[in-house]
Chains A and B, each alone.
Chain A
Amino acid sequence: MRLDERAGVATALEVRDLSVELGRRPIVSDVRMDVPEGGWVCVIGPNGAGKTTLVQAIAGLLPRSGSVRLWGRSIEELGRRERARTIALVPQLPVIPEGFTVEQYALLGRTPHLGLLASEGPRDLEAVAAALERLDLGWAATRRLDTLSGGELRRAVIARALAQEASLLLLDEPTTGLDIAQQLRVLELVEELRRADGLTVISTMHDLTLAGRFAHRFSLLSGGRVVAEGTRAEVLLPHVIAEHYGARVGVIDDGTLGWAVVPLSGPER
Chain B
Amino acid sequence: MSSLVRGERRLSARARATVLGVAVLIVAVLVGLLVGPVRIGAANVLRWLFSFGDPPQGMSEQQALILADLRLPRVIVAGLVGASLAASGAAYQAVFRNPLADPYLLGAAAGAGLGATIAVAYGPSGALELTVPVAAFVGALVGVGLAYGLGRSTLGGRSTTSLVLAGVAVASFLTAVQTFLQQQRSETLRQVYTWILGRLGTTGWDDVRLALPSVVLALATMLSVRRLLDVIEVGDLEARSLGLHVARLRLVVVIAASLATAAAVAVAGLIGFVGLIIPHTVRLMVGGSYRSVLPLSVLFGASFLILVDTLARTVVAPAEIPIGVITAFVGAPFFIAVLRRNRRAA
- For chain B, the bracket of interface size reads 20 to 34
Residues in B with CB closer than 8 Å to A104 are 10, 230, 287, 289
When chains A and B are docked, how far (Å) is the Cα of A96 from the Cα of B345? 12
Q: Known A84-B241, A125-B4; judge A95-B234 contact (CB<8 A).
A: yes
Which listed segment binds A: B221-229, B253-261, B301-309, B315-323?
Answer: B221-229
Judge whether B243 and A84 touch: CB under 8 Å: yes
Q: Report A113 CB to chain B, min CB distance, Å.
A: 9
Judge whether B243 and A85 touch: CB under 8 Å: yes
Residues in A with CB closer than 8 Å to B237 are 56, 61, 91
Q: Report A188 CB to chain B, min CB distance, Å.
A: 24
Question: Does more than half of chain A's interface fall in helix, strand or loop, or is it mixed?
Answer: mixed
Interface string of A155-197 (1 = CB under 8 A from B): 0000000001000000000000000000000000000000000
Judge whether B2 and A59 touch: CB under 8 Å: no
Q: Known A100-B287, A117-B225; judge A128-B230 contact (CB<8 A).
A: no
Q: Report A21 CB to chain B, min CB distance, Å.
A: 18
Q: Pick the residue among A101, A112, A119 that contacts B243 (CB under 8 A).
A: A112
Q: Pick the residue among A82, A94, A103 that contacts B238 (CB under 8 A).
A: A94
Chain B residue at minimum C-beta to C-beta distance from A113 = B243
Chain A residue at minimum C-beta to C-beta distance from B284 = A99
Judge whether A99 and B283 touch: CB under 8 Å: yes
| Chain B 129-169 residues near chain A, CB threshold 8 A | none
Judge whether B241 and A101 touch: CB under 8 Å: no
Residues in B with CB closer than 8 Å to A103 are 2-4, 10
| Chain A 82-98 residues near chain B, CB threshold 8 A | 82-85, 87-89, 91, 94-98
Tell whether B127 is near chain A: CB-to-CB under 8 Å. Answer: no
Judge whether A142 and B3 touch: CB under 8 Å: yes
Could you show 10 A-B contacts with beta carbons less than 8 Å apart? Answer: A61-B240, A80-B244, A82-B243, A84-B241, A84-B242, A95-B233, A95-B235, A99-B288, A116-B225, A125-B5
6 closest A-B pairs by CB: A99-B288, A84-B243, A97-B233, A112-B243, A95-B235, A81-B243
Q: Which residues of B contact A (CB under 8 A)?
A: 1-5, 8-10, 99, 224-225, 227-228, 230-231, 233-235, 237-238, 240-245, 283, 287-289, 345
Could you list 14 further interchain pairs (A-B, Cβ under 8 angstroms) beyond the known A84-B241, A97-B234?
A: A61-B241, A82-B243, A85-B243, A88-B241, A98-B99, A107-B230, A108-B231, A108-B242, A111-B243, A111-B244, A112-B242, A142-B3, A142-B10, A164-B242
